[in-house]
Structure 1
Amino acid sequence: MKKQLSGKNFFDNQSPPPQGSYEVVRTPTYLLARDEDCENMFHAMADHLNAYEVAQMLGLDFRDLQIVLWDKHPDTAFKDLYQTAFAPNHPVKRQRDFSGTVLFERLIFHLESPAGQVHVGMLDPWTCRDSELFAAFRAHVLKAYDLWDVPPPKKPQVTLSVRRRTAEKNVGRVCANEAELEKVLREGNMMDYQVVDLGTKSFREQLKIMRNTNVLVGIHGAGHMHAYFLAEEAVLAELHPPYRLDRHFRNAARMNGKIYLPYRVVNDKISCKGSSDAITINANDFRKVMDGALRLARNFHGGLSECGLWCDPNILALDKNLIPLYKPGDGQVKNPKKPRFPC
């Protein structure tokens, strides 16, 4: 970098201006050279956090910042994040949007993603349980999208995050028995669920889904970085393939005040399509994972239901806050037996 800045295309503010005609850009400009896997939310999150951290260290005002995507990668769904949260008053640009000689009065170079705080440190034991940086970044993004002051789900909301192959991308870690897992979720009562392929959603849509989710479950994948944006109290249930030992998403959940619930696949029921693998999740094991996750989620905030995936209606009836949420056929117990000390 020092060598580049000493070249003929760079000079400090004490030097004479370049010869000939040129365009002057007075808006502080951030050159964002993204990770080559910028479509992947894990790698993209490293860039997002780094950009936020650099802006804080330099005292930049996002209202007066211009972002230039300084690479040849696709825009991706995250271009909207840069536009909305990092440069709301100036369009996100590319190198091709400039012509001729350009004089930038204030130019900021991006801190590359390998230096990002999303990467798990090697120190053991893990002593950090939260992060002011992560919390501030989370608040900044959610406020930019007007999703900060969002009430939590009134009953457990499960989002099963899945990955599906397309003609454009032969993604890996596909769930081979997605329908079977959805059948397990249908066993639950007084809870809602949705099955979502986040790769088909805009970033704004992804955030809206996550703000109304307090149980996020899925096979190990970049979408688990949404642990940053889940409801205030939430569970991240990660289904680990038998061949991975990563702790990226445990770190994301832990440092954002979320409960991390892991499960490891131990069978060898994996099929391949080129470099893409499809993993079979044991339905009984998945049921146990969901039972544990929902046992936690039913007691978030003022919840009073000490039960899991399926709840005895007599237990649900003890929580008066659930009364408006019953639907026809839910088996509501309208006159529950009140708890009494027996002795």
Structure 2
Amino acid sequence: MASIAGGARVAHRGTPRSSSLGILLVFGPVRGTESWRRFGELTPHARQCNAGFGFDLVTAWRSRGQVWCGKRGDADPKSLGGVFTSAAFSPEVEEGAKQSDTPLGPTRFACFKTRQHRHTGDDNFCAAEGVAIDTSMLARQKKEPHIFLFPPGTMQGTCSPRKDLWTAQAFTMWHAGWFQSYKQAQGSLQCDTVVEETVVFVSRDNWKHLYWQTAAFFNLFVMYNVAGVQPDSVRIVMLDYWPLGPFEAVMQKAFSNPDWPITTLEELGKQAGPRVCFRRALFSLPEYSAAIVKGRPNGDDCSNSELVRAYASHVATRLGAVRSALDDSKNNRPVKVVFNSRRNYDGRTLLRQLANEQQLVDGLKARHGSVLVEQVDFAKLSFEQQILKASEADVMVGMHGSGLAHCMFMQEDGILIEITEARGNLKTFRNLCKWAGKTYIAFPFTTQGQGGVRADEQAFSRVMDTSILIAGSYYNRVITAANSVAHREKPPRWAAG
């Protein structure tokens, strides 16, 4: 029996490293907003926002952890270590269960089923230990999405599922077929290979749409926080047979060990033998389960979400895109405006192109000579390059399109100006921008013709003048605050502590 183990942990050049993720990475070991609740009770609206888009969402997921197959009892919701170090996966053997002869130990599934803010149904993801998958039984779903199908018996383990919980209706979307394929082994599990790392199984409904891939990444971030998983301990295995696509590099850097290539379950079976056993595994949520995809038609009135900000900080940190506003201020960095240009590419004609973009840019440069203005065709950049470019922007301007999802990575106090229809568009980027703590401005285009839409140049100039003034004042406030701290007198000794 072979064993697959990962290589050494790596440090990214120029990237601050941390031994923890999410709430531990960004804000220290606190739950929800307990770090500032002592200053006053939250309003009902603030409580609702925290439950839907704050750290309370992670707490809610944790509190619903329950063993569905294996040792009875709930996963400990108080454990910051997550499900893999909680009571749900203690070394005790389930009463009456078969003792496995493999080094895996007894099989356990802990599932987290909850109803999120504005979701019409329950969402559910499961963590497993000691599970075997016979990859020779995999089938390909010919219609979209191109996921692998699990015929009965494809997934095996030593535990007996709870019949009151383990039903097709309890699992999200195509997860039902995978978990319904589970069969309790009659004897020990047979393994050609044991994968030693924590495996995260990812399935994509859409492999090349930036917005939906962002939703998939956000799901991974939330799940890792709930289960106590560190990216550098993760090997990602795809449960679909779409091309890996343009988002593979960011997925690998931000959500797995960068030294372990992403592969498909089918390829893993071909390389290591058909019967693959997994010591620890997470089955990721579908994109549609992400908290950030709700409220798009009418908008959401929550803002400055700690969880969304932590997600953006995590991705930026892993990619080396973290910037210091204080250093920028000291170096007299100019305010930077990034135009997210939509242009035809690869023979594809894009809708919603801005016909008078160049006139808007020229007018802006003429009025603000000290402002750095850059026109960027994001379609020509890799996904990682897009995030890095967005992280430089104090002000981002663009037509309605998935590239505006990068507003989450803009500079602190960043401003997004979305050129859009006066009414009727989804509030997708308004929501993301507000949740990330940025300022959002919807700028309606005036006319639409064969060459694209046009924006009123005088009205646009007024909006840009104000936006640049706000962005510039932010750097002034940073440097003023830094000088104030630097020149502040030390407190008398009796005042210490």
* Amino-acid identity (%): 23
How far does residue 176 in structure 1 lie from its aligned partner after superposition? 2.2
What's the CA shift string for 1:279-332, capped at 9, x where partnerless?
A: 22233332233222212212113169xxxxxxxxxxxxxxxx9xxxxxxxxxxx
Could you tell me which amino acid in structure 1 is paired with residue 200 of structure 2?
Answer: Y
Deviations 1:71-130 (A, max 9, x none): 233333321111111112421112342212322232321101111122243898955222
Counterpart in the other structure of 1:316: none
Counterpart of 2:305 in structure 1 is 131
Structure-2 residue corresponding to 1:164: 343
Q: Could you say if the C-alpha distance between residues 125 and 166 of structure 1 is closer, same or farther in structure 2, counting changes exceeding 3 Å?
A: closer
1:23 equivalent in alignment to 2:172? no
Please give the secondary structure, in 2, of the residue aligned with 1:300: helix
1:200 aligned to 2:380? Answer: yes
Is 1:9 equivalent to 2:154 in the alignment? yes
For residues 278 and 319 of structure 2, what CA distance do their matches in structure 1 show?
29
User: Which amino acid counterpart does residue 8 of structure 1 have in structure 2?
Assistant: G
Question: Residue 290 of structure 2 aligns with which residue?
Answer: 116
Residue deviations 1:45-93 (CA, integer Å, cap 9, x gap): 1111001111111111211101123323333332111111111242111
What amino acid is the match of 2:396? Answer: L
Greater CA drift, 165-174 or 133-142: 165-174
Q: In structure 2, give the amino acid aligned to 1:210.
A: A
Q: Of the candidates 227, 230, 238, which is equivalent to residue 58 of structure 1?
A: 227
Question: Compared with structure 1, are the counterparts of its residues 279 and 76 closer, same or farther at alpha carbon in structure 2 (3 Å cutoff)?
Answer: farther
Query: After the TM superposition, which residues 179-198 of structure 1 pair with which residues of structure 2 at under 5 Å, given as runs?
Result: 179-187=358-366, 188-198=368-378
Whether the 8 Å contact between 2:204 and 2:240 is mirrored in structure 1 is: yes
CA distance in 1, matches of 2:350, 2:277: 42
Q: What number of residue pairs does the alignment pair up?
A: 296
- CA distance, structure 2, for counterparts of residue 190 and residue 132 of structure 1: 33
Write the deviation string for residues 249-281 of structure 1: whole angstroms up to 9, x where unpaired: 1111111111111111232x2338xxxxx3222
Kept after mapping to 2: 8 A contact 1:150/1:211 = no
Q: Structure 2 CA distance, aligned partners of 1:48 and 1:125?
A: 21
Q: Partner amino acid for 1:76?
A: G
Alignment match of 2:214 (pick from 23, 38, 45): 45
Aligned to 1:313: none
1:155 aligns with 2:300: no
Q: In angstroms, what is the RMSD of aligned CA positions? A: 2.8
Gaps of 5+ in 2: 1-123, 127-148, 160-184, 484-497
In structure 2, do the counterparts of structure 1 residues 291 and 44 end up closer, same or farther at CA, with 3 Å as the change threshold? Answer: same
Q: Supply the AA of the counterpart residue of 1:64.
A: S
Task: Report which stretch shifted further, 170-179 or 130-139.
Answer: 170-179
Instruction: Name the TM-score, length of structure 2 as normaliser.
Output: 0.55
| Residues 1:85 and 2:254 are matched in the alignment | yes
Any stretches of 5+ residues in structure 1 without a counterpart?
Answer: 273-277, 305-320, 322-343
Mapped pair 1:279 → 2:453? yes
Equivalent residue letter for 1:109: F
Contact 2:296 2:431 in 1 (8 A): no
State the secondary structure of the residue aligned to 2:197: coil
Change (3 A) 1:172 1:95: farther
**CA gap 1:5/1:133 in 2 versus in 1, 3 angstroms:** farther
Over 3 Å counting, the alpha-carbon distance change for 1:32 and 1:294 in structure 2 is same
Does residue 32 in structure 1 map to residue 32 in structure 2? no
Contact conserved, 1:211 with 1:231, CA < 8 A, in 2?
A: yes
Q: CA deviation at 1:206?
A: 1.8
Secondary structure of the equivalent of 2:282?
strand
Q: How does 1:235-246 map to 2 (within 5 A)?
A: 235-242=415-422, 244-246=424-426
CA drift of 1:216 comes to: 0.4
Question: If the length of structure 1 is used for normalisation, what is the TM-score?
Answer: 0.77
Q: Secondary structure at the match of 1:190?
A: coil
Equivalents in 2 of 1:229, 1:122: separation in Å? 20
